Structures are given as C-alpha cells and as structure tokens.
Amino acid sequence: MYSNNEVDNWVKETAALTNPKDIVWIDGSMSQRKRLIDECLKSGELIELNQDKLPGCYYHRSDINDVARVEKCTFICTKSEKDAGPTNNWMDSEEAYKKLTNLFRNSMKGRTMYVIPYLMGPSDSPFSKVGIELTDSKYVVLSMEIMTKTGSIAMDTLKNSPDFVKGLHSKGNLDPQNRYICHFPEDKTIWSIGSDYGGNALLGKKCFALRIGSYMGYHEGWMAEHMLIMGIENPQGEISYIAAAFPSACGKTNLAMLIPPDIFKGYKVWTVGDDIAWMRIGEDGRLWAVNPEAGFFGVVPGTSMKSNPNAMMTIKRNTIFTNVVLTEDKDVWWEGINLPAPKKATDWKGNPWSPESGEKGAHPNSRFTAPAEQCPCISPEWQNPKGVPISAIIFGGRRAKTAPLVYQSFDWEHGVFVGATMASETTAASTGDVGVVRRDPMAMLPFCGYNMGNYFSHWLEMGKKISKPPLIFNVNWFRTDEEGNFIWPGFRDNFRVLLWILNRCKGKVDAIKSPIGYLPKAKDINISGIENKLSEKTLESLLSINKEAWDEEIKDQAAWFEKFDTLPEEIKSQYKLLTERLEVDSATATSAK
C-alpha cells in the first residue's frame, strides 16, 4: 500500500522485537475505522453510547492506575544530561534504549500491531510534519484518527523521505512500575510503554507536538508552544489573532472557545486551536501560527453550557468519552456539567454510583476526544497552510495577590522574562496546600524537550529575527479579595481584557508605566453591563501592584533562576532591572507619604 524503505525497515525491525500476531496499516478510511470500533464493542474496550442523544459517540474506561500523564515516568533521553536540563527527568539515551528494549520484547505477542502514519498540521503546509506511531492499542488508533490526519494523507506527504518522527507504543501489561514515556530528541524518536492514557499513548500530542517539536524548532528556527490560538473579529470584519499560554486549571480551552458578552454586538471569537501552536516567521516579518492537531483532547469536569457552550456543542457527536459517569440510558454525566445527577449510574471505575455515594462519579481528569472541525466557532482559517498572523502573545497564571488583571511587557526581551517567571498558586482541591507557587515558564515546564535555559535563549533569538513581533502580555483572572473570593467575574467577561490587549496592539489606547510593565487605565477596560459586579474602583484595585506580594515574588524568582546553569544574560539583566524598578517605586511611595 505504501512504499518508503525507511518506514518499511523500521516496522519490520520493531515487529521482530515486539512479536505481534499480525500487522495492520491504518489508511484513514471510514470503513476501516468502523471495523475497529466494532471489534472494540465486541471486546468491551468501548461501550456504544445512546446514538439518539450522542450519535457516533463511545465510552472508554481506562485502567484505574492509568488515568493521567505521569511526569515521574516521563524522560528526555540524550547523550548528555546537560542537554535535558534541570527541569526534565533525564536518562542516558543508550541506557534508555537498553532498558526499554527489554520491556518491549514480545510486548505485543498475541496482539495486533497497528501502523499509524499521521500528519501534524494543515495539508501542504511548510509547518507540517509526519509521524508514524506503532501501537497495540485500538483505543490509541481511534483517538489518533481524531487528533491527527492519519493514513494516506501522511504517507503522500512523506513520500520517500526518511524524515519522520518514530513513535513506538505498547500497553504492555499496564504495570505502573514499568511505565516509561521516553523521548529521544536527537533521534526524533518516542518510546512509550505501560500506559494506555491519552497523554502518554497518543504520541502525536504532547510527545511529538511539544517535546520533540520544541527540540526541532530550536534547531530549525521555529517555535513549538503550549498555546491556544484564537481570532477576534470586530464588527467591521477585521480579525486579529492571539496565542496564549496557561498552566493547567487556568481556563485555557474555555478562553479558546469564548463567546463575547452580549453587549459586544458584532464581535466574534474564532478558535484556531485550544492547546498547541507551531509558529514560524513569515515573509512579512510577522509571527505566523498553526494548530498542528485535528482534534480536542479536553478535560470534562467543569465543562458546561455556562463555562464553555461551544465545547458542549462540539462533543455532541463523534466523540470518545473517557472515565466519565455512564447513565442507565447510555448517556454521560460529570461533576460541573450543571445538569441534575442521574439517580443511578456507573462511575468511572465501573461500579454502581449515585449522588448519595459521597464520591465523585467522574474522574477529575476524565476526558473527551472530539474532532475540531465540529466546534461551532472553529476558524475558517484553522487549516490555512500559511497559518494565521499573531498580534499578541498572552501568558497567564493563577495568582491570588501578585499579578494584576493584565499588564503588557515593555518589549520582547522583557516579555520573555515575564514568560520565564510564569507561575500559578496551588489550590486545596488539587494539592492540599494553598498558595504554593509553582513556576511553569510559558506553560512548557512538563513539555520542553531540551534544556529550558536554552529554550529561553531560543525565545530571545527568535525575537531578534521577528521584524514585526507580537506584543506580549500577562493576565490573571484569579486575584482574590480578603475573603478569598475571585474579584474579576471571568468566563465570557475575559473578552473585555482581550479587547484592551488588541487596542494596545493597534495603538488605540495608552497605558501607565509601572515597575512590572504597562498597566491599563481603568477607564479603558469596558465594564458596561457588569457595573453591579465590578465598580471602576474595584477594577482599579485589580490593576494595582501589591508591594508585599512582589517583594516575595522577586525572592522566589531568584530561587527559581538558581536552577539554571545556562540562564541567558538577558534574563539575568531583566531580573536586575525589575528589582531596581520595584525599589525605586517603593522609595518614591515612601517619600510621597
């Protein structure tokens, strides 16, 4: 069916190691997909959902010990530990190959090996890359067919080239003690064994698109970033595009699919991507971005018609739901859906469940896997081979007192510093400890495939080459009052901040220079319609700088930077300048009193 000597030889070598009973090539056809679904229904790997309510949808339940990405089992494997850097788990590449070869030996015995050629990115695009995943999991095949472009389109793109990312995956025996997700960036190779969870097993996603992708971008002069891409269309039909990076639990997917408040007549938000951006410098000197994925792999709990109606509409068909509540009439439910809980149902573990059980019915990391093309607000440009031009880059985190609602960096170099110090504070719901600051630069801490100090350098070098760079901003939807309540209303009202950001990009409003960056004037953020929730005085407090919080912040930043032995001089200089500006501001405030 396909002719590529490099691919053929690799498949044969891997089959000799893993010893499958047969080999099936995925061609991307609907007929083949239907056969695989039928096999999964027969084996119990999938449960057919109510086809009247959820046409084309299926339920998947994972092993109870295999429900999330496992960072302690995730490694960057290089010849030198320095190349992996201080923020990654490192394993010597030779040692890793040896260890995993022993685990993969006969791991597919009695199973089928599926060969999945897949394309990341739009067809016929200079951005796009080909990967091939070998797996013994039908769930992986069916999910990869949603998340990527599989089969003939990938092989037609690859042709006779040996330039593809090699991904080998086996469920093994799902033993957590022998679970490894190993990345070999120097070889463009990924080996994953012992897990069937999406983030560990769908090798096109975080593994290729970010960990291997970021390494490729570093060496080839482009950027692979953990960022949503969204377009905002004004009433005149002009569209401006934003890329934004947020750590987990900061509302990234909700922002990507935002619906503007009703008062903003004629405005629309277009979703280009909700998770990953590949960005290159265009001939016009601007930064252009594509979403390399074809689907959404989203967290379900908390998703509702209130928080994200576009996501809810997206997942009404052709979706795989994982580890949610299964109702008696084969519908799905989860905590935070804002619908009455079923009186009797089956929980994510497969046990009888009711609201009175006292336990969550859906796993906190339960997921949906859905085609992006089904999203009501999917951008008409999301498959444009050129990508879309980025006007603004936004960083954000969950900070109770430190970061104001929004501020703009002074320039690209300062913006890289803002991204390098990005952080969120933990909540009791997630860790048991409140307010612990966790640095997550550019939201890439778990996903950078090489030394993060060099990653900062790459950002700085890219900035020198972009003649018309995006402006860089930081947002914080999560500032709290003395009682711990969120001050900013969030959700759809975040659109109001995005408009200020775009007005800055277009030079339509000025700003106040502060020690940390340019702050809005309260009057320039439109709060029409929410004055009952947020007065201009309260908004001014959201835009203020808390000196005590920033005193702690700069101490914590210093401790963070001590980790890096390849920290760029520009980052050190920006830290020094921030410290000096805060000291001057403090002295000025003291003398004014």
Q: Which residues are catalytic?
A: 250
Known binding residue 538? Answer is no
Q: Is 366 annotated as a binding residue?
A: yes
Known binding residue 245? Answer is no
- Residue 509's contacts (CB-CB under 8 Å, 6 or more residues apart) are 500, 503, 520, 521, 524
What amino acid is encoded at 303 in this protein? T
Residues 6 or more apart whose Cβ sits within 8 Å of residue 503: 509, 524
- Residue 302's Cβ-count burial label (10 Å; 0-12, 13-18, 19+) is middle
* 61 annotated ligand-binding residue: no
Determine the Cα–Cα distance for residues 182 and 74; give it in Å rounded to an integer: 6
Query: Annotation-wise, does 275 bind a ligand?
Result: yes
Residue 151 known to bind ligand:
no
Q: Is 131 annotated as a binding residue?
A: no
With a CB cutoff of 8 Å and minimum separation 6, the contacts of 227 are: 243, 244, 245, 273, 275, 276, 277, 289, 393, 443
CA distance 88 to 2: 37
User: Given its phi and psi angles, is residue 322 left (phi above 0), alpha (psi -120 to 50 degrees) or beta?
Assistant: beta
Question: Do 159 and 133 form a contact (C-beta atoms < 8 A)?
Answer: no
Q: Edge-to-edge, what's the strand order for the sheet holding 345-346?
A: 332-333, 325-327, 345-346, 352-353
DSSP lists the bridge partners of residue 437 as: 425
- Asked if residue 565 belongs to a known ligand binding site, the reply is no
d(CA 366, CA 101): 31
Q: Is 367 flagged in the annotation as binding?
A: yes
69 is in an annotated binding site: yes
491 is in an annotated binding site: yes
> Per the annotation, does 271 bind a ligand?
no
Is 443 labelled as part of a ligand binding site? no
Q: Confirm or deny that 252 is annotated as ligand binding.
A: yes
The reply, when asked if residue 286 is annotated as ligand binding, is no
Q: Which residues pair with 48 in a beta bridge?
A: 58
Does residue 226 have a known ligand-binding role? yes
Element at 371 (helix H, strand E): strand 367-371
The response to whether 448 counts as a known ligand-binding position is no
**Measured at the alpha carbon of residue 51, what is the angle toward residues 48 and 53, in degrees to the nearest 5?**
120
For residue 486, say whether it is annotated as part of any ligand binding site: no
- The Cα 530–Cα 262 span in angstroms is 11
| 317 in a known ligand binding site | no
Q: Output b/e per residue, 393-407; b: 16+ Cβ within 10 A.
A: bbbbbbbbebbbbbb
Q: In whole angstroms, what is the distance from residue 505 CA to residue 280 CA?
A: 20
Q: Does the annotation flag 365 for ligand binding?
A: yes
198 among annotated binding-site residues: yes
Residue stretches of the annotated binding site for Mn(2+): 206, 226, 275
Residue stretches of the annotated binding site for substrate: 69, 197-199, 248, 365-367
Residue stretches of the annotated binding site for GTP: 249-254, 367, 398, 491-494
Residue stretches of the annotated binding site: 69, 197-199, 206, 226, 248-254, 275, 365-367, 398, 491-494
